[in-house]
Amino acid sequence: MIPVILSGGSGTRLWPLSREAYPKQFLPLVGEASLLQATWQRIAPLASGPALVVANGEHRFMVAEQLRQAGCKPGAILLEPVARNTAPAIAVAALHATTSGEDPLLLVLPSDHVIQDEAAFRDAVRVAADAAEAGRLVTFGIVPTGAETGYGYIKAAPGDGVRPVEQFVEKPDLETARTYVAKGTYYWNSGMFLFKASRYLAELERLNPAMLRACRGALEGASHDEDFIRLEKTAFGECPSDSIDYAVMEKTSAAAVLPLDVGWNDVGSWAALWSVAEQDGDGNAHHGDVIALDCRNTLAWGDGRLVAMLGLEDIVVVDTDDTVLVAHRDRVQEVKEIVARLKNQGRTEACLHRKVYRPWGAYDSIDMGDRHQVKRITVKPGAALSLQMHHHRAEHWIVVSGTAEVTCGEKVLLLTENQSTYIPLGVTHRLRNPGKLPLELIEVQSGSYLGEDDIVRFEDVYGRR
């Protein structure tokens, strides 16, 4: 059994904590591990081989680093050049899994779900394995805890254990959802699957041959970069964009479902996070430095500053470095409309946090004016920024801690704590940490344009342009 972890989502419904450049699967929303790390940890005891991960190419270094921290060395990280939904993502994983002539069971899991009873989940996967070995495409249906309108539903045939799927149903209105729950034969569609790689590919070839053809071309033309496999952009871009439900599961006669009652939650909104978070006696779920007086059923997420709440009920407050969200819990699904408006206005808060992670470390934009910007930069031991230059800005670097090797034109300098240097506009430069401890420095930029796209790279160990 090979885990296939899907990590291509953007998680905008948990904005402002989750953003396109650092979406929710990389966040420790429940417990100390991120959702991605928790996904691997819960299924590691079932894996007979290294996991396959399908991810957005922009997130590749975060995926690799978080899995390394969780003790997971993936068999491959397949990078999507463009988003094409779950059916193609699973197809390229299945094609890769069968390249050596083997035909494993694939346990397909989104990377951003919460499962509270992990032992029961693993037991259910073992039960489903027999049906999957016999050629069924098994999905896991969640026993509903209420009339939820945010999920699709699966109608199961009568019986126990793994049973045929009678119908997949779109997200219903509230009255229809109540009817489904009352009947007891409808389950939430979890987006988790178990099947033989060859069986999925055979059904996809029968039902959507153009998709499979494009996925084959993207994998055959892929480039390999250490653990990363970069799918060929043109071929994958021509692939139809469709979910596995639409492309295969709703049309195949091999679909089966196993109901689960394991404390599952897709953490698809702030209300969903509130429902799985630890609450006090008044129903308040608070993270960070929060003081609440006379509050009930609130969610507060503080990311550094003190959050003070007084006399609130059913309210969500999320405080990040650069943004504060205040919303009624019944309307948090509309957060995506705020994100859309920010994008239309060209505002960076839609996609980027103030602190931006890079393969070499991170930078935090702590101050900005018309012609200046101040960043706090952290460089990992042994890591280096690209050899680069800027057309519109000069930079001052002040070392706070650690050791910096600075290339500035033809000169190479070694700087330590409290030492500084100046990088003139238009001069080729590079920053490297030659030490064994993180390098911390302050960068002061000045110039007519301070955007991140004013970077001309000449060399980069991470393959960026």
Instruction: Give residue-wise pLDDT tens across range 89-99.
Output: 999 999 999 99
DSSP class of 11: -
* Confidence band of 44 (pLDDT split at 50, 70, 90): very high
Residue 264: pLDDT band with limits 50, 70, 90? very high
Q: Which amino acid type is present at position 166?
A: E
Question: Which residue would you say has higher pLDDT here, 227 or 63?
Answer: 63
**377 within 8 A of 423, measured Cβ to Cβ:** no
- Tell me the mean pLDDT in the region 337-359: 92
- 376 has a pLDDT exceeding 80: yes
Residue 249 above 70 pLDDT?
Answer: yes
- With pLDDT > 90 as the criterion, what percentage of the chain qualifies? 82
pLDDT digits 0-9 by tens, 403-462: 999 999 999 999 999 999 999 999 999 999 999 999 999 999 999 998 888 999 999 888
Q: What percent of the chain has a predicted confidence (pLDDT) above 70? A: 100
Q: What is the mean pLDDT of residues 211-230?
A: 92
The pLDDT of residue 179 is above 80:
yes
Q: Which of 324, 281, 355, 288 is nearest to 28 (CA)?
A: 288
Question: How would residue 173 be classed by pLDDT, with cut points 50, 70 and 90?
Answer: confident
**Which sign does the torsion angle of CA 8, 12, 13, 15 carry?**
positive
pLDDT at 46 over 70: yes
- In this predicted structure, the answer to whether residue 226 has a pLDDT above a threshold of 80 is no
Region of residue 122 (left: phi > 0; alpha: psi -120 to 50; beta: else) = alpha
- Phi, psi of 439, deg, nearest 5: -95, 125
Mean pLDDT, all residues of the chain: 93
Are 48 and 104 within 8 A, CB to CB? yes
Stretch 135-143: mean pLDDT: 95
| Tens digit of each residue's pLDDT (9 = 90 or more) over 383-417 | 999 999 999 999 999 999 999 999 999 999 999 99
Range among 6-15, 151-160, 193-202 rated most confident: 193-202
For residues 137-163, average pLDDT: 91
Q: What is the mean pLDDT of residues 332-344?
A: 93
Burial class of residue 301 in the structure, from the number of CB atoms within 10 Å of its CB (0-12 exposed, 13-18 middle, 19+ buried) = buried
The answer to whether the CB of 291 falls within 8 A of the CB of 305 is no
State yes or no: pLDDT of 105 exceeds 90: yes
For each of the domains in the chain, give its residue range(s) and CATH number, in order of start: 2-265 (3.90.550.10), 270-334 (no CATH), 355-459 (2.60.120.10)
CA 173 to CA 171: how far, in whole Å?
7
pLDDT of residue 172: 85
Q: What is the pLDDT of residue 465?
A: 66
Q: What would the pLDDT profile of 269-327 be if each residue is shown by its tens digit?
A: 999 999 989 999 999 999 999 999 999 999 999 988 999 999 999 999 999 999 999 99
Joined together, the tokens standing for residue 284 give 């308040």
How confident is the model at residue 205, as a pLDDT? 95
Amino acid of residue 215? C
> Quick one: pLDDT at residue 31?
86
For 353, the 3-state DSSP assignment is coil
